Each structure stands twice: as structure tokens, then as C-alpha cells.
Amino acid sequence: MLDIDNFLTELAIENPRMALMMSKVRDAINQTANATGVDSTAFQSPPHAPQSIQVKASNGLVHVTLTDSSQRSRALNYFVEHDTDPAFSNPHVLHLGASRGGFLTLPAFNDSNVAQNWHFRAYSMLPGSTKPSAPVYFGGAANPTPVSVGGTTQLTPLNSTGSGTASTTGQQGLSGFGIPQFSRTERAGTIKA
């Protein structure tokens, strides 16, 4: 929050009209920052984590819902990650926006016709925070519950390319909008600032 009250008190003595104008500017900046989930002077703290994630699947169709009874702002966004690896080494990111639920279609088998289970986790993030909330795992963090999505679809997923400003290798899960403000250019194994 932009806090210039001390300055405004001094300015009001010398130039009351200027102090009034600066007060309106401060209020406008702070209102915009609050509405968009940013802070005009610092990064936002990570939001509270959703309390739980529920997953239901049938014939390749997956319905994911989140429970979040914490105090929320309109700027809060939710993310769901799914991976065939319970360690989420290459998670695919689904941005739910303000919604706490969504549908996705996932293949039951890989290209070699071997059944593949899926694992799910979710978190929330504000556009102005550099860290997301703590994640919540379907089945718990220590041992995420594998989900057989059913159906006959065969497809080995391509590697994830991540989300936001995270690396395009897809190996930086739990990034949401991204941790750094800007991404870096990645070329031939080197990262340039």
C-alpha cells in the first residue's frame, strides 16, 4: 500500500489543494492495487492454501474441484497441476482463474498401450505475489493418490512447458504466474539475463 500520510500532513500546511490531489492519487493507486492483487510498493504475501482438492474421473474425463474457505480477494487465481509421476517431475499446469473447479480430458494409456495413472495438486496465487500458496495434494503430499481416468484413449503426454515466467522445461512446478517478474531467454542450455 502506498503510504504518504506524513508527506500529506506537511503538504496540507503549505498547499492544501495539492495535498487533496495527492490524497486522491494515493487512493486511486491503492484501489487499483487492491483490485488487481498487487501492492504498489512491495510483493504480496502468498495467499492461504486451498483446504482440499477433489478429483473424479470416468472415461478419460476428469472433474477437479477445490475447497477454499479462507478469506479471498477477487484477484485470487487457482492452479491445478497433473502428472503421471507422483513426484510431479514434469507437471502440466491448468490455470483455473477465479474458478475453484474445472474439467479436463486425460488419456488412460500411453503410446505403448500401458495404463497410466495421474496425480493432482492445486494451489492459489495472486498476480502480485512472488510465491504461490502451499500446494494441496489429492490423497496427501506424502503419498498422492493415483487416479485411473478410465477410457481407452492412448497418448503419451508431451513434456510440459510450465507456466508464467517459469522455465519452459516444465520442471518448475508450483510456479503459477511465475516466481521472477520476467522470464529469461533459454537457448542451447544457457540462460541469458
Report the C-alpha gap between 65 and 87 in whole angstroms.
21
User: 114 lies in a domain?
Assistant: yes
Q: What is the pTM of this model?
A: 0.85
Range of the domain at 23: 5-36
- Residue 82 CB partners (closer than 8 Å, separation 6+): 62, 91, 92, 94, 104, 106, 118, 119, 120
User: 180 lies in a domain?
Assistant: no
Indicate if 103 and 49 belong to the same structural domain.
yes
Report the C-alpha gap between 182 and 85 in whole angstroms.
28
What is the reported pLDDT for 1?
81
User: 160 lies in a domain?
Assistant: yes
Indicate if 66 and 147 belong to the same structural domain.
yes
CATH number where 64 lies: 2.60.40.10
Per-run averaged pLDDT (10 residues), the chain, 193 residues: 88 91 90 84 91 98 97 95 97 97 98 98 95 97 97 96 91 90 65 47
**Which amino acid appears at position 43 of this protein?**
F
Indicate if 28 and 100 belong to the same structural domain.
no
**Which amino acid appears at position 11 of this protein?**
L
User: 193 lies in a domain?
Assistant: no
Per the DSSP assignment, residues forming a β-bridge with 187 are 190
